[in-house]
A and B are shown apart, each in its own frame.
Chain A
Amino acid sequence: MAFRIPSLLLLFALASSLHAAVDFAHEVVPILEKNCVECHGGDKSKGGLSINSRALLLDADVLEIGKPEDSLFIEVLTAEDPEDRMPPPKKKKEALNSAEIAVLEKWIAEGLVWEEGFTFAVDRYEPPLKPRVVKLPAGAPGTNPIDLIVAAHLKSKETKAPQPVDDRTFLRRVTLDLTGLPPAPEALSELPSEGKLDRAAAVDKLLANNQAYAEHWMTFWNDLLRNEYIGTGYIEGGRQQVTTWLYRSLLENKPFDAFIREIIAPGPDSGGFIKGIKWRGVVNASQTTEIQFSQNVSQVFLGINMKCASCHDSFTDRWTLKEAYGLAQIYSEAPLELVRCDKPTGEKAEASWIFPELGNVDPTKPRDERLKQLAELVTHPENGRTQRTIVNRLWNQMMGRGIVHPVDAMNTEPWNEDILDHLANYLVVSKYDLKAVMRLIATSRTYQSRTEVRDEDEGTYVFKGPVRKRMTAEQFIDSIRQVIGVWPAPDQNAFGKGLTGGQLTAVMEAHGLKEWDKRPVRAVFAKRDELQAALGRPNREQVVSARPDIVTTLEAINLANGPELAALLKAGAANLQGKAAPRELIENTYLAALSRKPTDSEVRIAMEILGETPTPEATEDFLWSIFMLPEFIYIN
C-alpha cells in the first residue's frame, strides 16, 4: 500500500542536505501540495493530468526529463494568458514565485526524483476479499436472516421498519421481478383473504416457472454479457452471440460457478463474451479485444472498474496499468506490450491475476489452460469478491438499489456489510444457486415492505424500504402484450435467423421443439426497435448493469404517438372487441395491468372514455391511459 508524507519525512530526515540535489519531500512536495494537488491530485485529474505518482505525471506528457525549458509543466506557471496560466487565477492562488519555479525546474532537470511508493492519492475504503462469517442477531426462530440483520441495522440507526405491503402488491412485485410479467388475473382472483397468502409458496411457484424466469432474466444477462443480436462487430465476424448457451443456462438454473467457468473458459457456444467486439480500423490501445477482456471480466464478475487502469494507473482506485494488462495477457495469444495512454512503454505484460493471495495463473501455460486457471480463481471459494458482486447485483435488481452502490464499484462501502456477506455465504452454501438467493430475498419481510417515496439522490443512503423500479423496455412491452392478449408471430425479420440471429432457434432447441408452439414470443428475443430503444434498451456496445430509472421526454413523445405502441394498442383493441361489457373490460384491465380492482370513480371515468358500446378507438384510448399510469410502469 502506498504511504504518505509522514513516513516519507522520516526517510528524508536522514538524508544529508549536503547534496545539492533537490529534496523531493521537503522542497517539491510542499509546492505541489500548495499549488497543484487540489485539481491534479487525489481523485482529481483536471485536463487529464494527475500528479499522484511519477508514472502518472510522465504519462501526461507535460514535461521532458532533463529539459525544464521544453516542459509545458514549467511554461504554464509563467504563461501570460490567464486562460493558460497555472494555477488558474480564478483559483485565487498566487502565481508561483521564482524560487519555487527554480525548484521545480531543478527537479525536472535532475530527473524528476520521486520517492518510491509516495502518492497524492487518497486512501479509500478497501473491501475485504475473503468471505466473512456473519453472526446473525438474535430473533425468533425461522426468521429470515435478512430481516434479522435489517432489524438490528434499523435499531442502531433508530429508524422504524417500513410497513409490509398487502398480498396483491407483493404478488405483483414478485411476479414482475422473477418472471418479468404482472400476475395473471387468475392468480389474483385465487388470492385468499388478505394476509392469508403463503408468500413463500408463491415465490417457489414463480421460480419453478423455468421458462418465464429465463426469458425475464435474459434481459439482465444480455446487458451484462453484452449479448446483442445485431450491431457493431458482426460485419466481419468480430463478435459472437451467446444466446443459445445463455438461454439454456438460465432455463436450467446453472450453478453460478459453472456459469462463470463456461463464460471465461468457454466451450463452442459460450465464447462470445470474452471474444468482445473487434472493431475495424485502428483502435485505441485500451479497446483492443484483449483489454476488453480485462475490463469486462473485472466489471461483470468482480465489480471492478478496470477501464481507467487499462490506460494508466487508476486515479480513483488502486488498480494499475500492469494489473489491467496482466489480466489481458491471460487471454492474449500474442505477448502484449504495456501501452500507457496510447504510448508504448517497452514493458512486456505477464499473465497474472489481480488477487494473488488466492493463487495465480501460470504464464507459461497455453492460453486455454490460463483461462481455466483464471476461471478457477474467479470462482475460488475464498474469493468473496465474486460472490458479493453477484448477490449485490441480484439485490439491486429486486430491491431497486444495491447494498453496494453503484453495483459496478464494489470498492464502495456497503450500507450494511452483514447483509452483503450473509447473502454471499448463502450463495456458496446453496451451491451457487442464484434462484436460492432470489428466494431468500423475496421471502424476506424486507423485500415485502412498502417502497420508499424517494427524492432523487439524497446524499448518504439510509435504508427506508425497497426503491421503486421501472419496468425495462422488455417488461413494459411484454406486460402490455399479456394484458391485451396479443403476442407476435415468430417473425424471422424481427427475431433473427441465420447469420446474425437465431434467437428463436435457441429457444426451440432448449425446449426440444421442432417448430414454434403457442408459447409467447417475448420482447427480449426481438431486435432492438425504436420503441425498445426509446424505453432504454441499450445497444450493448458497453457492458450495462443498470437501466435508466426515469422516463424522459423523447420517450414520452414516442409513447404518445410512436407507431409501435399505437400498433400494439390497435391489435389489443381488436382482440378485446366485443368480448366483454365495458364495466367488465375495465375491471379485467385493471386487474391484469395493475393487479387491483378499479375504484368506483375510476370505473366512472373509464366508462366515460369507453362509452356504452365501446368503439375500437375508445378501447385503444382506455388501454393507453392505463399503460401510461406510473402505477403500471413502476414496480411498487
Chain B
Amino acid sequence: MTQENWYDEAHPELTRRRFLSALGATTAATFLGGAPRALADEKRIKQPTATADSCILIWMAGGMAAPETFDPKRYKPYEVGTPVDQIISTFPAIDTAVDNIKICQGLENIAGVMDRATLIRSHFQPDLGSILHSRHQYHWHTGYVPPQTVAAPHIGAWMAKVLGGRNDVMPAFINIGQQLEGHGESEELKAFTTGGFFGSEYGPMNLPFPDLASQAVKPPGGMSPDRFSKRYKALENLLKNSPKSGELSDYHQESMLRSIDNAHRLLGSKEREAFDLTLEKKEIFDEYNTGRFGQGCLLARRLVENGARFVEVTTEYIPFVHWDTHENGHSTVERMKKEIDRPIARLIKDLEERGLLDRTLVVIATEFSRDMMIEGVPGSIAQDQSRAATDVIKEMKHYGLHRHFTGGSSVVMFGGGMKKGFLYGATADERPCLVRENPVSIEDLHATIFTAMGISPKTEYSIEGRPFYATKDGIGKAVRDVFA
C-alpha cells in the first residue's frame, strides 16, 4: 500500500479547527452534559508529579498463571501417574538479565529485558466467587466490583478524563485486540470497556483487529481521500450558508461541530498513519508479528509515539480460549508464551531506543492467577472449574494449571518511572501460593499506575450525589518502593 499524502499539502484547510472559527462560535465550554462534575475540592487535591506521559496496559485476558510465567515454583515434568497435588508449576525456571530474578521457560526474550522491569509478585484480588472472568476483569479495569449502581469508568477513561489527550488529534484511550461481539460474556465485557459515567467522549476507541486499525481513521470503504475531504468541505459550506447558523452557538450544537471537526482533524492528520501497520518496516513488523497480539503491541508503540495517552493491548478474552486454561494448560500456555514473548520484549526495546520508555509506563497484568486443583471453597470447588478433573495425571490434557486462583499473581511494569531490575513481593513456595510479603491490592496497584501518570488516587467526581474516586473510596496507596 502506498502512503497517502492527501492530508497536508493538498488540503491544508482540513488540519485546523475550521467549523468553529468559521462560524464565529465563541464559548469554550467543556462538554460534560451536566453530570458528572468534579467536586469543588478537586482543585485542591494535589496531583502528583507524573513520571509517565503514556501508559500501555498489556492485558493477559483469561487468567495468566503466575507459577507458569513470572513466578516459577518447583517444576514437575509431565509424567503419567503423578498425583495432581504434587504439581505447582509445569515449566522450569530460567535466568533473566537480573541475578535474583528467574522467570519461566518460554519467556526468554522477556527475560532479556527484565533489567528494565519492576516485577511485582504479590498482587492479589478478592475472590468474587471465582467464577466469572468478566466480573474480575470489570473489577481490575474499573477498580470497582460489579455490579455498580452507576456505570464505573475504565482506568483508561479516568486518564482520558483527568489528563486528556497528549495532542489535539490522537484519541486519549485506545483499546486493541478485544472483539466485543460474537462470543459468550461479550455483553459483560462491554460493561467495563466504556467511559462509564464520564460519557463516551472519554470511552475507548476500539480496534479489535490491529491490521484493520487504519480503517478506523480512513474514509469509509470505497471512498477516495479526495472525495472524503470534498464531502467535509461541502458540509462546511452548507453550514456557513444555512439560515440556521445563527443558532449554532448553542452548546449542544457546538459539541457536534467540534466533534465532527475533531474527527476530521484526526482523519486528516499525520498521526493517523500510526494506525497503519503496513507503513512499518517489514523486518520490524515480522519481529512483532506472532499474530494479532503481536501486531497489537506494534500498533500500541506506534500510537504512543504519536500521542496516545492510554492504550490497552489484550491477548483477547474468549471463554475457555487462550489464557483461560481449564484443560490442556501446559500446552496452551506454551503457545501463549510464543505469542507474547517476542513482541513484548521488542516493544520494550523499541520504546527504549526511541527514548520513550522513561515516560511510558508499560504494565503486564491479568485478572487472577491459576492453580492446579486445590483450595475448593463451598460452591466453587476445583472440580467444577476444571474440564480435566482428575486426581492423578493420566494424559496431557490434565497437565497444567486449571482452576482460578486469586491469592497471588504477578504484574510486570516497565519504564514510566519504575525501578529497573527490581523485584517486589513474594508468594509462598508451596501450595497455596498465597502472597507472603508486600501484598498489593487492585486499589494499590491502580494508585501506583495513576500516581505515575500524575493522577492522585483520591481524585474524585460527583455522580448522583455520590463521590466517586479514581481508586475505590479513594483508599488506594501507591507502592512507593517501586518508583525509581
Contact = CB atoms under 8 A, between A and B. Distances in A.
Contact of A550 (B33, B127, B130, B473): B33
Contacts of B258: 553
B190 A539 contact: yes
A552 B201 contact: yes
B199 A43 contact: no
B300 interface: no
B474 A46 contact: yes
B255 A552 contact: yes
Interface in A610-630: 617, 621-622, 624-626, 628-630
A550 B32 CA distance: 8
Given A90-B44, A557-B205, A625-B238, A43 B243 contact: no
B171 interface: yes
Interface stretch (A228-236, A262-270, A420-428): A228-236
Interface stretch (B4-12, B62-70, B281-289, B464-472): B464-472
Nearest to B260: A556
Nearest to A624: B231
A90 B266 CA distance: 41
Interface in A582-636: 599, 601-602, 605-606, 608-609, 617, 621-622, 624-626, 628-631, 633-634, 636
B199 A552 contact: yes
Contacts of B33: 456, 548-550
Interface string B344-365: 0000000000000000000000
Task: With a 10 A CB-CB cut-off, give which of B191, B223, B241, B252 has the most chain A CB atoms.
Answer: B252
Interface string A385-397: 0000000000000
A440 B5 CA distance: 58
B221 interface: yes
Interface stretch (A138-146, A210-218, A561-569): A561-569
B187 A230 contact: yes
Given A231-B187, A279-B135, A609-B234, A566 B466 contact: no
Contacts of A533: 190
Contact of B220 (A47, A48, A561): A561
Interface residues of B, number: 85
Given A280-B132, A539-B187, A305 B251 contact: no
Contacts of B243: 599
A43 B276 CA distance: 50
B29 interface: yes
Interface stretch (A110-118, A153-161, A281-289): A281-289
Interface residues of A, number: 83
Given A539-B187, A561-B216, A634-B253, A280 B129 contact: yes
B34 A541 contact: no
Nearest to A401: B34
B264 interface: yes
Interface in A291-336: 295, 305, 307-308, 310, 315-317
Interface in A418-467: 451-457
B244 to A, nearest CB: 5
Nearest to B244: A631
A468 B252 CA distance: 8
Interface string B238-282: 110111100111111101111110111011000000000000000
A135 to B, nearest CB: 33
B35 interface: yes
A557 B251 contact: no
Nearest to B467: A45
Nearest to B465: A316
B256 A534 contact: no
Contact of A456 (B32, B149, B221, B230): B32
Contact of B147 (A277, A554, A630): A277
A374 B242 CA distance: 54
Nearest to B130: A281
Contacts of A563: 220-221
A286 B149 contact: yes
B458 A561 contact: no
Contacts of B30: 456
Interface in B426-473: 458, 460, 464-467, 469, 473
Task: With a 10 A CB-CB cut-off, give which of B184, B191, B260 has the most chain A CB atoms.
Answer: B260
Interface in A203-251: 230-232, 235
A281 B150 contact: no
Interface in B16-58: 27, 29-35, 41, 44, 46
B331 interface: no
B444 to A, nearest CB: 14
Contact of A47 (B130, B145, B474): B474
A560 B149 contact: no
B260 A554 contact: no
Contact of A554 (B41, B148, B205, B248): B205
Given A456-B29, A631-B244, A552 B188 contact: no
A191 interface: no
A409 interface: yes
Interface in B192-229: 199-201, 203, 205, 215-221, 223, 227
A408 interface: yes
B86 interface: no
Contacts of B266: 553, 557
A470 B187 CA distance: 26
Contacts of A566: 220-221, 223
A282 B128 contact: yes
Contacts of A559: 260, 263
A563 B222 CA distance: 11
Nearest to A277: B147
A95 B221 CA distance: 65
B94 interface: no
A539 B191 contact: yes
B200 A48 contact: no
A409 B201 CA distance: 25
Contacts of B248: 630
A555 interface: yes
B401 to A, nearest CB: 20
Contact of A602 (B147, B199, B241): B241
A483 to B, nearest CB: 15
Nearest to B251: A456
B475 interface: yes
Interface in B137-156: 145-151
Given A47-B474, A552-B199, A599-B243, A307 B466 contact: yes
A66 B267 CA distance: 65
A463 B30 CA distance: 22
A182 interface: no
Contacts of B146: 279
A305 B128 contact: no
A281 B135 contact: yes
A626 B238 CA distance: 8
B131 interface: yes
Contacts of A557: 205, 216-217, 263, 266-267
Contacts of A230: 187
Contacts of A560: 220, 260, 263-264, 267
B120 to A, nearest CB: 21
A258 B230 CA distance: 55
A548 B199 contact: yes
A364 to B, nearest CB: 31
20 contacts: A47-B473, A48-B467, A280-B135, A281-B135, A308-B465, A455-B27, A457-B32, A542-B150, A548-B199, A550-B255, A553-B258, A553-B259, A554-B201, A554-B205, A556-B263, A566-B220, A609-B230, A617-B223, A626-B238, A634-B253
Interface of B: 27, 29-35, 41, 44, 46, 127-132, 135, 145-151, 171, 184-185, 187-188, 190-191, 199-201, 203, 205, 215-221, 223, 227, 230-231, 234-235, 237-239, 241-244, 247-253, 255-260, 262-264, 266-267, 458, 460, 464-467, 469, 473-475
Closest 9 CB pairs of A and B: A281-B129, A550-B255, A48-B473, A556-B259, A556-B263, A630-B253, A551-B256, A552-B201, A316-B465
